[in-house]
Amino acid sequence: MKKLVVLFSLMTFANGLFAQAHILFLMPLDRQEKTIELSNNVKLNYVEQGNRLGVPVIFLHGYTDSWHSFDYVLNHLPKKYHAFAISLRGHGNSDRTLTGYQPEGLAADVASFVKQLNLGPVIIVGHSMGGVIAQRFVLDYPLLAKSMVIVSSAANFTDNEPVKEFNSIVQKFDQPVDSAFAAEFQSSTIVHPISSKYFNTVVNESRKVPVHVWKSALAELIKANYTNELSKINIPTLIVWGEKDSFCQRKEQDELLKSIRGAKLLIYPGTGHALHWEQPERFVKDLENFIDK
């Protein structure tokens, strides 16, 4: 009889622990910074927040940014989503390898990330260079993508004169990028001012990027031309663009809209390349409407 009582007590205790653990698991995560080592031995720094049973949303930043590019977005994003913002290879506090900066390689890193965390089909959100990687991810790993949001980007950078002109400057670098140049570059991505504290954050994140990554990532970006492949994309796609974008033009948005079946285009009047910094609340609302529809 004593054995039965002890066994029952142990079972009750174990069930209580399981229930507590289950409740904790269901509670939305506050933002947590983490590092993962991929199957190719590259370590990526990222943040995770929200409901671990919610829709997985992956945010990919632009050229020389990091997961901090989505600070404002994550602040406003409802905790019902399971959100991840990644610092891509060579950026932020992720590994700074000598090679691997072509969109195909960066998309492969993202695919490895999704697989290792068992996230299943995800909503992929890419800004600028991240938008190119998002397209490559969807094209190369269609079973891992549920829907896509392309922000301030293009499918073809081979004819993009502002980016090509910027590349001609960057390829001459032989020293680490200084604060003045990083600040000038980041200033060119916005029309309306953002807080000086946050602006300093994004400038400092750009300065973390080694000069070989500044050069290699941009050289690979201007080779990207996926126009003839976009018809293969058959998932819901939202295109978001700022009317005063200094890098990506309206004609490039129209090309995306025409080539991706069923895509929708949202234009933010009077807003620049980093529209998610200038209008984070509107961006999150538009993102939420797209995901939940």
Cβ(1)–Cβ(78) below 8 Å = no
Report strand pairing: 237-242 vs 56-60.
unpaired
Look at residue 169 and tell me if it is in a domain: yes
Average pLDDT over residues 213-223: 98
pLDDT of residue 288: 98
Look at residue 144 and tell me if it is in a domain: yes
The stretches of 59-210 forming alpha helices (DSSP H) are: 71-76, 103-116, 129-140, 161-170, 179-187, 196-208
CATH number at residue 253: 3.40.50.1820
pLDDT of residue 158: 95
Look at residue 201 and tell me if it is in a domain: yes
Look at residue 259 and tell me if it is in a domain: yes
- How does pLDDT run across 242-285, given as a tens digit for each residue? 999 999 999 999 999 999 999 999 999 999 999 999 999 999 99
Q: pLDDT-derived band of residue 12, with 50, 70 and 90 as boundaries?
A: low
Structure tokens at 39: 């199957």
Token pair 């949303």 is at which residue?
A: 57
- How does pLDDT run across 146-174, given as a tens digit for each residue? 999 999 999 999 999 999 999 999 999 99
Q: pLDDT-derived band of residue 94, with 50, 70 and 90 as boundaries?
A: very high
pLDDT of residue 293: 85
Look at residue 221 and tell me if it is in a domain: yes
Query: φ, ψ for residue 137 (rounded to 5)?
Result: -60, -45
pLDDT of residue 15: 58
List all residues 6 or more positions away from 223 whose beta carbon is below 8 Å from its beta carbon: 102, 157, 158
**Residue 3 CA to chain centroid, in angstroms?**
56
The domain of 251 spans: 29-292
User: What is the average pLDDT value for the chain, to the nearest integer?
Assistant: 93
Q: pLDDT-derived band of residue 9, with 50, 70 and 90 as boundaries?
A: low
pTM: 0.91
Of all residues in the chain, the percent with pLDDT exceeding 90 is 89
> How crowded is the C-beta side of 89, counted as CA atoms within 13 Å?
26
Long-range contacts of 157-165 (CB under 8 A, 24+ apart): 157/132, 157/221, 157/222, 157/223, 157/224, 157/225, 158/222, 158/223, 158/224, 158/225, 160/222, 160/247, 160/248, 160/249, 160/252, 162/246, 162/247, 163/218, 163/221, 163/222, 163/247, 164/222
pLDDT of residue 246: 96
Residue 89 has pLDDT above 50, yes or no: yes
Query: φ, ψ for residue 263 (rounded to 5)?
Result: -65, 150
Look at residue 277 and tell me if it is in a domain: yes
Look at residue 131 and tell me if it is in a domain: yes
pLDDT of residue 18: 45
Residue 131 has pLDDT above 80, yes or no: yes
Structural domains in the chain (count): 1
Look at residue 18 and tell me if it is in a domain: no
Average pLDDT over residues 61-87: 98
Number of neighbours of residue 40 by Cβ within 10 angstroms: 13
Range 179-199 burial, b when 16+ CB lie within 10 A, else e: eebbbebbeebbbeebeeeeb
